């Protein structure tokens, strides 16, 4: 007998079941293990799901090459977007090149279950736009120092999953993994934190389970994409060598330059090409 205290379920109150692939972003500082984590996910899930990968590199397609050579996925399913000197712009404000790359992959290998998008290695402030990805993982590693998780930032605080990577190195760099994970949890209002090492099978299984759960939630229309928020003002070198402090206004694709060098071509740092 139906429970009359509950409102009748309204099918229109659920999200429509998506027809495209889940788009999962992987961001984090340089060298924390983003490509390796993507390789792990591909190795574990390629047998049961149809996957594709987009990498974002500043000047090269190094990450795509690394992933192709890892042999975890058909090399054709791994494509690179070259972002120029401002990799965070290509995943946050001016996402056209990435969206085109994702959509091309989806149509070339239809039906795809999931496209993983690796951001260019950056600092603690980089986050994906929810217009590009449905969910995002932020990757730190113990080699970056045990106190990094305390430093916060939108990715650490609000990514769907925070990974503390390379835990096998912790004894060598004097980091207390449990404390680093606890710091991450404290910064995240209960959102999940995963201690990971590619040498620790149990941690790899936990990562795989998290991704499976996300895929299931996405497919059943109950996953809600969260915007971790815009990146903080930051600086990076222009091609002419002058550092420019920028704040990205959300969604506009515009920059506010706080300091400027006339030698730097206005669009030189933000050219994105896709191949």
Ligand X SMILES: Nc1nc2c(ncn2[C@@H]2O[C@H](COP(=O)(O)OP(=O)(O)OP(=O)(O)O)[C@@H](O)[C@H]2O)c(=O)[nH]1
Q: Which residues bind to ligand X, rule: CB under 6 A?
A: 30-36, 63, 121, 165-166, 168-169, 197-198
Report if residue 35 touches Mg ion, rule: CB under 5 A. yes
Interacting stretch for Mg ion, rule CB under 5 A, among 31-39, 184-192, 200-208, 255-263? 31-39
Closest contact distance (angstroms) between CB of 271 and Mg ion is: 20
What is the 3-class SS of 2-69, one letter each residue?
CCCCCCCCCHHHCCCCCCCCEEEEEECECCCCHHHHHHHHHHHHCCCCCEEEEEEECCCCHHHHHHHH
Closest contact distance (angstroms) between CB of 203 and ligand X is: 9
- Pick 28 or 218: Cβ nearer ligand X: 28
- Pick 36 or 129: Cβ nearer ligand X: 36
- Pick 60 or 273: Cβ nearer Mg ion: 60
Angle between helix 34-45 and helix 201-219 axes, rounded to 10 deg: 70
CB-CB contact of 194 with 200 (8 Å): no
Strand segments (E) across 49-145: 51-57, 78-82, 114-118, 135-141
- Pick 118 or 223: Cβ nearer ligand X: 118
User: Of these partners, ligand X, Mg ion, none, which one is at the site of residue 165 (CB under 5 to 8 Å by kind)?
Assistant: ligand X
- Would you tell me which residues interact with Mg ion (CB under 5 A)? 34-35, 63
């Amino acid at each position: 007998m139906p429970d009359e205290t509950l409102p009748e379920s309204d099918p229109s109150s659920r999200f429509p079941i998506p027809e495209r692939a889940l788009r999962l972003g992987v961001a984090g500082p340089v060298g924390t293990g983003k490509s390796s984590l993507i390789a792990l996910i591909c190795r574990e899930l390629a047998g049961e799901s149809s996957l594709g990968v987009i990498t974002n590199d500043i000047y090269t397609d190094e990450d795509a090459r690394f992933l192709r050579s890892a042999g975890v996925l058909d090399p054709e399913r791994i494509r690179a977007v070259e972002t120029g000197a401002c990799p965070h712009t290509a995943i946050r404000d001016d996402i056209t090149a990435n969206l085109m790359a994702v959509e091309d992959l989806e149509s070339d290998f239809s039906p795809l279950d999931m496209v993983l998008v690796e951001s260019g290695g950056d600092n603690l402030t980089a986050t994906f736009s929810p217009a590009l990805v449905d969910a995002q993982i932020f990757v730190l590693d113990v080699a970056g120092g045990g106190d990094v998780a305390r430093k916060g930032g939108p990715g650490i605080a609000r990514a769907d999953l925070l990974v503390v990577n390379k835990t096998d190195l912790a004894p060598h760099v004097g980091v207390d993994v449990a404390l680093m994970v606890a710091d991450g949890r404290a910064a995240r209002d209960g959102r999940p934190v995963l201690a990971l090492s590619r040498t620790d099978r149990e941690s790899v299984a936990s990562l795989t389970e998290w991704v499976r759960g996300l895929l299931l939630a996405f497919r059943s229309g109950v996953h809600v994409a969260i915007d971790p928020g815009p990146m903080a003002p930051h600086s990076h070198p222009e091609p002419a060598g002058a550092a420019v402090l920028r704040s990205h206004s959300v969604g506009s694709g515009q920059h506010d330059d706080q300091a400027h060098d006339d030698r730097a071509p206005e669009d030189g740092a933000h050219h994105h090409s896709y191949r």
